[in-house]
Structure formats: C-alpha cells, structure tokens
C-alpha cells in the first residue's frame, strides 16, 4: 500500500491503519529498535508503542516521508527504553555508538551551551548536505539507524577499517561545524 | 555526563531532514550492484571462473527449483572452506582483521559465506526462493564478547548468538537441509551460512556433514589446489569424487596432541596441505583441507583421520603433487 493511503487510513481512523503500517514498516522499525536495544522482545514492545504513538500523532500530523516519521518515533522510544535498561545493564553495541558521538561533544574547548534540539538538527542537516553521498549515508546508517560497523561495511562494500576511518573523519568535521555554529 | 550529551546529539541527529534519512535508508553500494537473475549459467563456467578470479555463486537449490545467480567482482570471489575459515585465494596473502562472521543455531555453529580476503559476508540475490519458514532472529551480540566489550561469556553457547547481522532473521533455505545451510536476511540483504561445527565443541562428524550436505550425491567434481589456491594441481571426476566422499564418511575425529599439531603446522607451512574444492551441482563449493602425509583432513571446524581404505584407494591422487608453501602471514 502506498504511504499516502496508509496515512489516510489514520485520518479516517480506520482499524486496519496499524495493520497496514506493520505490514509495510514492521521489520524496518523492529530492526532500528533492535540495534539500539539488542533485545528482540524489547524491540517488539517498542514497535508496538510506535504504532500507538503514530495513531495518536496522525492526525493532526501528516508526515511527508512516512518511513522517516515512523523510524524517528521508534528511535526515540528505543532510546528512552535504553535509558531505562542501562540503569541495570549496559548494551555494548549501542553504547559504542554513543561513545563515538561523545567524542564530538566532549571537546575540552567546547562551551557548555544548551542549544535547541531543532537548531542542532538543522545544523547537522546542513552539514550532511555538504558531504559526499557515501560519507553522508555511512554517517546516517551509523548514527541514525545505529547499524554496526560490520553491517555498514557489507552494505557499502567497504572494509570495516575504511568505514571506521570515514566515520572518524566525519565526526571530526561535524564537531568543527557545530563549534563554528556555536552549538557546542 | 558525556553519555548524556551523546544521547542528546543522537536525538538531534534523529531530527535531521526526512529526505536525508530516506536516502540513507535505501543506500547501498554503488560498486557492487545486485544483478538480476541469470538462470542458465552452467556450473562448469562457475568452476573455471572461480579459479581465474571471477566469483560466480549460483544456488539453484540442491533439490531443483529456480536458479539464482549473483556475479561478483573478482575481488569478491568468495570461497569458503567447509570450515568456513576464509583463506587466501589467488594472490590473497593478507590476513583479515575482521572477525569470523558466524552464528549459533540449534546447537550448531554456522559460518556466513564470506569474502576470502576481508571476511566480509557475501550478499546474495535470493529473490527466486520462496522462503516459507523463518527459524528465529539473531539476538545476542557475540562480537562484543569476542572483543571484550561484553563479559557475557555464556552467550558463546547460546542459540541465536552471532558475530554479524545482529537482528537478522534466520530462514530455512528451500531445497537445502537446514542442518547444512541456512539463509539470513537483514535489511533486505540476504546472506548464506553453512554449518561448520557444534557449539558444545564435540566434532560434527564426517558422516553427519557429508550426509547433511548431500555432498556425495551433489558433487560434480573435486579440484585439488595448493592451500592458498593459485593452480589446479589435479581434478577428480564426479563419479570418483562421489565414491571418495562416501568413503570419507568413515573418517574418525582426530584429537591432536601438541606435538602432532606442531608437526601438522610444519608440514602445512611446507606446502604439504592441499585444498579439496568440492564443487557441487548448484555451483557452490565447500572446501576441505587434506594433509596426506599425516592422513588428516579438516572438515568444518574439525579434523579427522583418513581411513586406511581411503589412503589405499585415493592416496595416489596426492602423490607427486607440487608442494607450494603458503605465503607468510
């Protein structure tokens, strides 16, 4: 089913809206949640919560890119659950992603500043648009989808060391960009 | 504190523009396109291509059915030993730094078919298969255990623990015994994995392996090559190969002492170990490493003693072969 038709089901408050969403995006959302939570049951629950959140959000929202909309909700819910889970136990895979990002924000020269989330996201979008396509997509696969380095290397037919060095360079560039924008 | 900031940054990245996210969600390598089905490629072409450096992987299903072929660039010519240990192909003497990609299922260890140079699993076009039965999801991160990032050692023996494709769905591959070969799907990319051993460390058993893979029924021929490829030193025709594999079922597990291991390593370093490339009718291959001088063969992750009858009937195949020492690694 086309995305527009699925969104319309939500506007019509049709009972099969969630079923159709699950059919088309269930695995996509589950894999995002799984990479953050590393637990199949947690990921399933997270995706069920995503459908509930989507039901509550549409209407009034009418997402233009349904996959990104659903993925973003899943991601945020998974991150919340990760916070809860990590109180008891570390999830090593996803913590690696966070450790890498911590390199960007942990600059000793950085000024403590509470930037608006939207402002930072806008600056990151602008930064990503300046990158070449491969570097941009590798960065997003790692830090949006939380893919493992091994999975990225297969997806883009690169060695793991090349993926790591590409991510390292992009993180450094992003830090410089955010500092320049006074967002760090 | 820095973790909190990192999470905040992670959330901010989550709010980047939708079109960038959509582009990344669909992004794949431009260098390694997924070719459409090529249904009439003959196995013989695959055999030749394998040796000359163009990898051709075809999976018509051992019991018949549609044929699925993916042609990969030469550098991707993936050849696995039956043990799944990736080793150097022609001109590939560089050891890989990537961990071996494998997972546990049903008490057995399955190795992903992977590139010999990089250990990067090979992606297959399996769209012609009518997958009916998924048998689970790769759930436990063994890579983290292996790198010391996780101390959950007990994961090593658990089903669905994996060093690769975490979150991937494991499927039975129509036409193949799931005890031999399974498929794994992650983000619409498909991989194939072959059994290499038992999780409890007990030997798989030569008979179990050969019967489960139907090697003696499905073999088209066997090539004898040096340990690290290069030349074809000999060819065993299909009928003889079938009989050889049938006899190989009687090989008994070998528990080598330290001294025997040292002897084994010495002979191997001097070129006394050969690769048996068992070419199957589906144009995939599995490999076994044979050291005739010691009467030992490696099948899967295990070593076995060749029977006296095997040595008597087939030992002459390995007499007078050139010893080509593998490159130093």
Task: Look at residue B323 and tell me whether its pLDDT is greater than 50.
Answer: yes
Q: Which is higher by pLDDT, B51 or B143?
A: B143
Q: Which among A99, A121, A151 has the least Cβ separation from residue B12? A: A121
pLDDT band at B231 (very low <50, low <70, confident <90, very high): confident
Measured CA to CA, the distance from residue B254 to residue B257 in angstroms comes to: 9
Cβ–Cβ gap B24/A136 under 8 Å: yes
> What ipTM score was computed for the predicted complex, to two decimals?
0.80
Taking residues A159-167, what's their average pLDDT? 84
Q: Which is higher by pLDDT, B320 or A139?
A: A139
Write the pLDDT tens digit of every residue in B190-223.
899 999 999 888 899 999 999 999 999 999 999 9
Q: Which is higher by pLDDT, B254 or B53?
A: B254
CB proximity under 8 Å: A 134-173 to B:
136-137, 140-141, 143-145, 148, 150-151, 153-161
DSSP string, B8-39: HHHHHHHTS-HHHHHHHHH---SSS--PPP-T
Q: How far is B160 from chain A (nearest CA, A)?
A: 11
Cβ–Cβ gap A136/B11 under 8 Å: no
Write the pLDDT tens digit of every residue in A54-82.
998 998 889 989 999 999 999 999 988 88
HEC letters along chain A: CCHHHHHHHHHCCCCCHHHHHHHHHHHHHHHHHHHHHCCHHHHHHHHHHHHHHHHHHCCCCCCCCHHHHHHHHHHHHHHHHHHHHHCCCCCHHHHHHHHHHHHHHCCCCCCCCCCCHHHHHHHHHHHHHHCCHHHHHHHHHHHCCCCCHHHHHHHCCCCHHHHHHHHHHHHHHHHHHHHHCCCC
Q: Which of A88-97, A113-122, A173-182, B120-129 has the highest mean pLDDT?
A: A173-182
User: What per-residue confidence (pLDDT) applies to A88?
Assistant: 54
Question: What's chain A's average pLDDT?
Answer: 84
User: What per-residue confidence (pLDDT) applies to B236?
Assistant: 93
pLDDT band at A92 (very low <50, low <70, confident <90, very high): low
The model's pTM: 0.57
Cβ–Cβ gap A156/B118 under 8 Å: no
Q: How far is B18 from chain A (nearest CA, A)?
A: 6
User: What per-residue confidence (pLDDT) applies to B68?
Assistant: 34
Closest CA to A181 of A123, A125, A129: A123
User: What per-residue confidence (pLDDT) applies to B147?
Assistant: 63
HEC letters along A129-180: HHCCHHHHHHHHHHHCCCCCHHHHHHHCCCCHHHHHHHHHHHHHHHHHHHHH
pLDDT band at B116 (very low <50, low <70, confident <90, very high): low
Q: Which is higher by pLDDT, B231 or B175?
A: B175
Cβ of residue B29 closer than 8 Å to a chain A Cβ: yes
Question: What's chain B's average pLDDT?
Answer: 75
Q: Which among A79, A102, A105 has the least Cβ separation from residue B11? A: A79
Taking residues A145-173, what's their average pLDDT? 86
Q: Which is higher by pLDDT, A114 or A92?
A: A92
Residues 6+ apart with CB under 8 A from B315: B292
Residues 6+ apart with CB under 8 A from B197: B83, B108, B109, B203, B204, B300, B301, B302
Cβ–Cβ gap B22/A153 under 8 Å: no
For A109-113, A117-121, B160-164, which range has the lowest pLDDT when averaged over its residues? A109-113
Task: Look at residue B241 and tell me whether its pLDDT is greater than 90.
Answer: yes
Nearest CA in chain B to A35: B167
Cβ–Cβ gap B10/A79 under 8 Å: yes
User: What per-residue confidence (pLDDT) applies to B151?
Assistant: 59
Cβ–Cβ gap B144/A120 under 8 Å: no
Write the pLDDT tens digit of every residue in B55-84.
334 444 333 333 333 323 222 333 333 333
Q: Which among A64, A128, A161 has the least Cβ separation from residue B20? A: A128
Q: How far is A73 from chain B (nearest CA, A)?
A: 9
CB proximity under 8 Å: A 55-114 to B:
63-65, 67-69, 71-72, 75-76, 79, 83, 92-93, 95-99, 101-102, 104-106
Cβ–Cβ gap B186/A35 under 8 Å: no
User: What per-residue confidence (pLDDT) applies to A132?
Assistant: 92
Residues 6+ apart with CB under 8 A from B106: B135, B159, B178, B179
Q: Which among A69, A93, A140 has the least Cβ separation from residue B24? A: A140
User: What per-residue confidence (pLDDT) applies to B3?
Assistant: 72
CB proximity under 8 Å: B 93-122 to A:
97-98, 101, 118, 120-121
Identify the three-state secondary structure at position B203: coil
Cβ–Cβ gap A150/B98 under 8 Å: yes
| Residue whose structure tokens are 């890119």 | A65
User: What per-residue confidence (pLDDT) applies to B267?
Assistant: 83
**Chain B residues in contact with A110 (beta carbon < 8 A):** none
Taking residues B159-184, what's their average pLDDT? 91
Q: Which among A101, A156, A160 has the least Cβ separation from residue B9? A: A101
pLDDT band at B237 (very low <50, low <70, confident <90, very high): very high
User: What per-residue confidence (pLDDT) applies to B66?
Assistant: 32
Write the pLDDT tens digit of every residue in B270-313.
888 898 989 888 877 888 999 988 899 999 888 999 998 898 88
CB proximity under 8 Å: B 117-146 to A:
118, 120-121, 123, 137, 139-141, 143-144
Write the pLDDT tens digit of every residue in B127-154.
778 888 889 888 888 877 666 656 566 7
Write the pLDDT tens digit of every residue in B15-26.
999 999 999 988
pLDDT band at B50 (very low <50, low <70, confident <90, very high): very low
User: What per-residue confidence (pLDDT) applies to B30?
Assistant: 63
Cβ–Cβ gap A79/B23 under 8 Å: no
User: What per-residue confidence (pLDDT) applies to B175?
Assistant: 85
Cβ–Cβ gap A65/B18 under 8 Å: yes
Write the pLDDT tens digit of every residue in A123-154.
999 999 999 999 999 999 999 998 888 888 88
Cβ–Cβ gap A150/B143 under 8 Å: yes
pLDDT band at B34 (very low <50, low <70, confident <90, very high): very low
Cβ–Cβ gap A79/B7 under 8 Å: yes
Write the pLDDT tens digit of every residue in B173-195.
988 999 999 999 987 788 999 99
């Amino acid at each position: 089913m086309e995305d527009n038709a699925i969104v319309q089901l939500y506007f019509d408050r049709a009972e099969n809206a969630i079923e159709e969403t699950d059919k088309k995006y269930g695995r996509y959302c589950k894999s995002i949640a799984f990479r953050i939570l590393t637990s199949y049951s947690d990921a399933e629950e997270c995706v069920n919560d995503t459908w509930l959140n989507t039901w509550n959000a549409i209407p009034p929202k009418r997402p233009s890119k349904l996959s990104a909309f659903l993925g973003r909700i899943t991601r945020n819910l998974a991150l919340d659950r990760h916070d809860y889970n990590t109180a008891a136990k570390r999830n090593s895979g996803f913590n690696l992603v966070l450790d890498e990002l911590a390199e960007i924000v942990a600059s000793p020269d950085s000024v403590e500043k509470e930037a608006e989330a939207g402002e930072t996201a806008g600056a990151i979008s602008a930064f990503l648009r300046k990158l070449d396509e491969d570097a941009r997509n590798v960065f997003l696969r790692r830090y949006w989808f939380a893919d493992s380095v091994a999975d990225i290397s297969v997806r883009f037919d690169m060695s793991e060391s090349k993926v790591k060095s590409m991510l390292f360079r992009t993180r450094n560039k992003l830090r410089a960009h955010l500092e320049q924008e006074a967002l760090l | 504190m820095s973790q909190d900031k990192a999470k905040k940054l992670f959330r901010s990245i989550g709010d980047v523009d939708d079109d960038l996210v959509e582009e990344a969600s669909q992004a794949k390598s431009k260098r390694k396109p997924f070719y459409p089905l090529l249904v009439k490629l003959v196995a013989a072409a695959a055999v030749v291509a394998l040796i000359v450096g163009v990898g051709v992987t075809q999976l018509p299903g051992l019991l018949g059915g549609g044929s699925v072929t993916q042609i990969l660039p030469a550098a991707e010519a993936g050849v696995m030993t039956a043990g799944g240990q990736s080793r150097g192909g022609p001109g590939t003497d560089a050891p890989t730094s990537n961990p071996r990609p494998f997972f546990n299922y049903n008490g057995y260890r399955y190795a992903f078919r992977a590139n010999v140079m990089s250990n990067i699993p090979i992606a297959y076009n399996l769209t012609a298969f009518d997958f009916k039965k998924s048998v689970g999801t790769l759930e436990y991160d063994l890579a983290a255990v292996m790198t010391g990032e996780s101390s959950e050692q007990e994961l090593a023996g658990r089903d669905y623990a994996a060093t690769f494709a975490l979150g991937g769905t494991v499927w039975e591959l129509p036409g193949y015994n799931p005890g031999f070969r399974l498929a794994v799907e992650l983000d619409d990319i498909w991989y194939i994995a072959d059994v290499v051993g038992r999780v409890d460390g007990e030997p798989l058993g030569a008979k179990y392996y050969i019967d489960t893979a139907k090697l003696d029924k499905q073999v088209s021929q066997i090539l004898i090559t040096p340990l690290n490829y290069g030349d074809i030193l000999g060819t065993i025709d299909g009928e003889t190969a079938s009989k050889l594999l049938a006899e190989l079922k009687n090989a008994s597990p070998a528990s080598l002492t330290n001294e025997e291991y040292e002897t084994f390593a010495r002979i191997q370093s001097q070129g006394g170990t050969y690769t048996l490339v068992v070419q199957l009718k589906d144009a995939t291959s599995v490999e076994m490493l044979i050291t005739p001088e010691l009467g030992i063969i490696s099948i899967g992750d295990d070593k076995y003693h060749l029977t006296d009858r095997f040595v008597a009937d087939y030992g002459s195949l390995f007499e007078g072969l050139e010893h080509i020492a593998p490159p130093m690694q």
